[in-house]
């Protein structure tokens, strides 16, 4: 099972890096999201994929699941959601300013000067 999860993580990282290297801002945002999901799966795999009891100390036994990877993944999901919202708001502001989602056009400073002079 862990082998298939590692292969899935590799595929997600590959697609995430491919999308982050594109020139479209939407693809970059999707790539960052895929990369974040791959990181969450890597944390899950590093914590171990096995069955056990809930992490509450009792007399049932001592085969407990480690709660730290779940806490780290939950924190990473919240931070990833905040980063995605920030990137989407930056995308909307840039699209309103430049009328394009191409990254190369965003680096053009001449049209920015023209836009501020017309206001």
CATH number of the domain that residue 17 is part of = 1.10.287
Contacts of 83 (CB under 8 A, 6+ apart): 32, 36
Which range of residues forms the domain containing residue 109? Answer: 2-118
Q: What is the pLDDT, as a whole number, of residue 108?
A: 61
Q: What is the pLDDT, as a whole number, of residue 57?
A: 67
Token pair listed for 80: 């990833």
Q: For the chain, what is the domain count? A: 1
Q: What is the pLDDT, as a whole number, of residue 49?
A: 75
- Give the residue from 70, 64, 49, 53 showing the smallest Cα distance to 4: 49
CB atoms within 10 A of CB 54: 9
- What tens digit of pLDDT does each residue of 45-93 get? 888 777 766 666 666 666 677 788 889 999 999 999 999 999 999 889 8
pTM above 0.85, yes or no: no
């Amino acid at each position: 099972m862990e082998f298939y999860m590692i292969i899935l993580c590799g595929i997600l990282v590959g697609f995430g890096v491919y999308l982050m290297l594109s020139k479209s801002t939407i693809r970059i945002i999707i790539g960052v999201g895929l990369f974040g999901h791959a990181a969450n799966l890597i944390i899950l795999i590093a914590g171990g994929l096995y069955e056990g009891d809930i992490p509450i100390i009792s007399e049932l036994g001592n085969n407990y699941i480690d709660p730290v990877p779940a806490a780290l993944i939950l924190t990473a999901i919240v931070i990833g959601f905040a980063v995605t919202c920030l990137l989407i708001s930056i995308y909307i502001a840039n699209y309103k300013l430049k009328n394009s989602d191409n990254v190369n056009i965003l680096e053009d400073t001449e049209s920015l000067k023209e836009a501020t002079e017309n206001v």
